[in-house]
Amino acid sequence: MCGLAGWIDFERDLTEHGSTVRTMVAAMANRGPDAEAVWADRRVALGFRRLAVIDPPGGRQPMTAERDGTVRAVLAYNGEIYNFRALRGQLAARGHTFRTSSDTEVVLAAYLEWGEHCVDRFDGMFAFAVWDTGRQELLLARDRLGVKPLYYASTRRGLLFGSEVKALLAHPLVDSAVDSEGLAELLSYIATPGHAIYSGIRQVPAGHVLTVRDGGFRECAYWSLPGRAHTDDWPTTVDTVRGLLTDSVASHLVADVPLCTLLSGGLDSSAIVALAARHGQRPRTFAVDFEGHAERFRQDFWHHSPDAPHAADVAAFVGTDHEPVVLRTEDLADPVVGHAAMTAQDLPRPTPDMDRSLYLLLRAVRQHSTVALMGEVADELFGGYRSFSDENLVDSGNFPWVTMGFGVAPHGMSTGLLDRSLLEKVDVPGYSADRYAEAVREVPEVPGEDAREALLRRVGYLHMTRWLPLLLTRNDHLSMSVGLEVRVPYCDHRLVEYAFNIPWRLKRYGGEEKSPLRAALAGLLPERVLRRPKSPFPITQDPGYGQVLRDRLAELVADPHSPVRPLLDVPAARRLLAEGRPVRTTGWGERRDVEMVLQLDAWLRHYHVRLAL
């Protein structure tokens, strides 16, 4: 797993600008602690930071393909192609020769053989840039689900691109400006395909390729969620889910470096651990916990039980080498940790305490492993969220997570302490309504599907295309900030295509959420884990953390030079402080409102953001 950055320009000679691309790459140094390189020619400069996972000696990048001493193509590639060995055999049969054992060389050969259609043959997570010297053309490509990120910004006669926004912001042609649409996207907590919050910066959408040549560029989709009639009965559905997930986990275990699994004690991550163990590996597992959490735990709307006992049950049942990562309130409140989690994502996020917990977990894991498997995406695929079953959310006319009680006000996520006039100007409700209408128009239709099933297909589509990308981007940026590769077996596109089309009557077979997945894992997990309801990533309930938030809010309100002050509802903040108590750490609303203000302040300071509202 790595970080790439580059610059294509049809006007200037980039052989003189290799240092600029090196600066872009240096901004993402944590993504690739093992090597750094830049390749430059007249029209293009490609930079790379490498985290060696497959063929450490041979997979160096940027990688060139040559014929008769002439460079035909140059590749900078971030990701893992899990079927690269099979593709290598096909390409060898077509006359290609290989000098390494890396999947990087297979990607490059596949491009030479099939052009941009090579992406149709890749099973995995990837984002890459390949410069074709003969065609004088750049191809940018991103995997089907968007596990690996890829951002770009247009210039007068070219393009800048990189694995993270910070790589683009390191270039002198890119301004860290955010307009009202970008702020609305940020506060609504919607992942509009292609949107990247910053003005002038976009993402290559998941399942797309972008072709750049002199005169412009063309963006083209090569994959999207398909709508298909599901004709399998219940036993066949369960068997198919089990088989697809088993195959995916097996393919994700290939690595030439230490590998582990993140284990929360929920159904999704426990499934990955159990199936990994069936492939002959004694998995090493890690779980996050908080000091004193079991003693002070209180059930809330989201969390029914603490994770740690369930994770321990799975570890004992499966037989893993298990290590809880116990976090203290001082760890979560450490400003260095907060800065690292925010700058990893280049944005303020409405769940920063969760981000910091995940960052600290991943940092601890990196001391032992280079690759970690995680259980993300199962809830989106199999309908694990309440937003699939709560009638007030299923057909609310908006994105379910925007409607639900997740610290969301009418004006967006965690905005309770922001100035009302600002929020009216940004108009999150109007922006969200427009994006919702766009998303609904995309939902694939299945002939013969009744109205209820069609409605729940819509809910699933919204989660897969506008919610899941938020999680995948967070996981990528936080993990890569500590030099750890995170793999997501549930993102196997065959499993995704199958599970997305399982009708709701089977996803709730027997009245239980995620029924096909639970049935597929029968006998592989402890019964109380197999039956455990959905529980999100844990949060600390320590009042001491609430006191830290209160103290920092008080400092901010007292600072007339705070950059977030023009955005702050100062009277509302003062009323909260006047209550003389810690910020509430149970529930979501109050702590999220305070966290968002603190995050916005840190973001505006660090990135010198220019709000063009």
Active site residues: 2
Task: Give one word for 483, left, alpha or beta, with left for phi > 0 and alpha for psi -120 to 50.
Answer: left
Instruction: With CA atoms as reference, report the closest residue to 352 among 601, 568, 1.
Output: 601
Going from the C-alpha of 119 to that of each of 208, 210, 301, the distances in angstroms are 9, 12, 42
Cα-Cα-Cα-Cα dihedral of 19, 12, 105, 143, to 10°? 100
Q: Which two tokens mark 16? A: 């003189």
Task: Confirm if 27 and 481 have CB atoms less than 8 A apart.
Answer: no
Phi, psi of 322 (to 5 degrees): -105, 140
**Cα–Cα distance measured from residue 249 to residue 269, given in angstroms and rounded to the nearest whole number:** 11
Phi, psi of 568 (to 5 degrees): -95, 140
Cite the beta strand spans of 470-540 per DSSP E.
485-487
**Cα–Cα distance measured from residue 564 to residue 175, given in angstroms and rounded to the nearest whole number:** 19
Q: Which two tokens mark 156? A: 């007068």
Going from the C-alpha of 1 to that of each of 4, 6, 75, 134, 424, the distances in angstroms are 10, 17, 14, 28, 42
Task: Confirm if 415 and 593 have CB atoms less than 8 A apart.
Answer: yes
Going from the C-alpha of 77 to that of each of 44, 140, 465, 579, the distances in angstroms are 15, 10, 24, 53
What is the side-by-side order of every strand in the sheet holding 371-373? 321-327, 284-290, 259-262, 371-373, 485-487
**Beta bridge mates, 154:** 159
**Cα–Cα distance measured from residue 153 to residue 167, given in angstroms and rounded to the nearest whole number:** 11
Phi, psi of 542 (to 5 degrees): -70, 120
Task: Confirm if 495 and 248 have CB atoms less than 8 A apart.
Answer: yes
Phi, psi of 535 (to 5 degrees): -135, 120
Q: Which two tokens mark 464? A: 């897969």
**Cα–Cα distance measured from residue 183 to residue 166, given in angstroms and rounded to the nearest whole number:** 18
